Amino acid sequence: MRPILHRYMKHLCSAVGLAFLSTSLGSCRPDLPPTATGTSLAASTPLKTGKNTDYRTPPVRGPVPRNPDFAFSSDFSRKGGISFSRVPVSGKYIAMTFDDGPNPQNTPRLLDILRVRNIKATFYVIGRNVDLYPQIVRRTVAEGHEIGNHSYTHRLFTKLSDSEVRSDLTRCRDAVGRAAGVQPRTLRPPYGGLLQRQREMVFAEFGYPTILWNVDPLDWKRPGPSVVCARILSHTTAGSIVLAHDLHGSTVDAMPATLDGLLQRGFQFITVSQLLAMQAEPATTAHAAPGTPPLMPVSMGGADGQPLSSAP
């Protein structure tokens, strides 16, 4: 299965032209068990150490850079597009996105790091993790972050039928609703894999634009916090959508320096929906009929009777 998947993802990644993905599976690769060292390694061969499970982000000492308070609308237009890896905006606004959570150890730690910097991020949650840790999703929403749909089972959608895709997205959406009383606004497909036809179907039936990314530190390979930080700092530009995973402790370890570095470079953090709402109006929609309904209501304030799907 994996060689097939790998070939597919290589094809996909080259198709979307993401610089960091050209030789890899892409984001969201599931954790693999530690490789058996076997007997072929000489006794003197340095062995990789295991995960440093005791590491905790050092407490913040002294003032940290702080993201401004924003009251930008999250109402993005249905005519703005159905697929994004970045969003053209005029200011140095960016969206941090964290996939595959919630995670009972790392997500709360990340929330602490974000809160002290007044940064609102977007969390693409896996529905089955939401059902395991609903209280973390509740906290995430209560602290002003946005929740996106990352499917319930984290399977590659390009291998699924439309009804399977529909069911998987519905289960995740409903899990988020049960946990925190909100509806996801956007989709990040597992592994970034979604056919154009499927994107159109999801957009029509769920109202979700497909959100990819243009900055990928490949943190799932666990290159170490300093490398994750350096990759993000060197590739982020205005309108960037930055991919990371709160599944991994080392990613969260990288965040204090990463976020501070981005703030010091003048970037300001908003959610994906806010970034979409901010995009320059495409010429074709500049004269759209007044009253074109927004895709979703303003706030993350709760399940408020908005239509969940226009599926036939």
The least CB distance from residue 86 to Ni ion, in Å, is 19
User: Which range, of 92-100, 210-218, 270-278, 296-304, touches Ni ion by CB under 5 A?
Assistant: 92-100
Nearer to Ni ion, 157 or 206 (CB): 157
Nearer to Ni ion, 213 or 267 (CB): 213
Q: Is 216 in the site for Ni ion (CB under 5 A)?
A: no
CA–CA dist 142, 238 (Å, integer): 27
Among 12, 29, 96, 100, binds Ni ion (CB under 5 A): 100
Cβ 267 vs Cβ 50: under 8 Å: no
The least CB distance from residue 126 to Ni ion, in Å, is 7
Nearer to Ni ion, 28 or 114 (CB): 28
Nearer to Ni ion, 148 or 207 (CB): 148
Among 18, 25, 28, 111, binds Ni ion (CB under 5 A): 28
Kindly give the pairing relationship between strand 93-99 and strand 83-84. unpaired
The least CB distance from residue 101 to Ni ion, in Å, is 10
Cβ 106 vs Cβ 252: under 8 Å: yes
CA–CA dist 193, 267 (Å, integer): 29
Indicate which residue of 99, 168, 216, 246 is catalytic. 99
Among 12, 99, 173, 250, binds Ni ion (CB under 5 A): 99
The least CB distance from residue 190 to Ni ion, in Å, is 5
Instruction: Give the x/- contact pattern for Ni ion in 45-84, rule: CB under 5 A.
Output: ----------------------------------------
Nearer to Ni ion, 100 or 216 (CB): 100
Nearer to Ni ion, 159 or 265 (CB): 159
Q: Is 246 in the site for Ni ion (CB under 5 A)?
A: no
Q: Is 25 in the site for Ni ion (CB under 5 A)?
A: no
The residue whose Cβ lies closest to Ni ion is: 28
99 among known catalytic residues: yes
Contacts (CB under 5 A) with Ni ion, residues 175-214:
190
Tokens of 4: 């097939």
Count residues near Ni ion (CB under 5 A).
Answer: 4
Cis preceding linkage at 102, omega within 30: yes
Contacts (CB under 5 A) with Ni ion, residues 117-176:
none
245 among known catalytic residues: yes
Indicate which residue of 145, 154, 245, 248 is catalytic. 245
Provide the binding-site residues for Ni ion, judged by CB under 5 A. 28, 99-100, 190
Catalytic residue positions, numbered: 99, 245
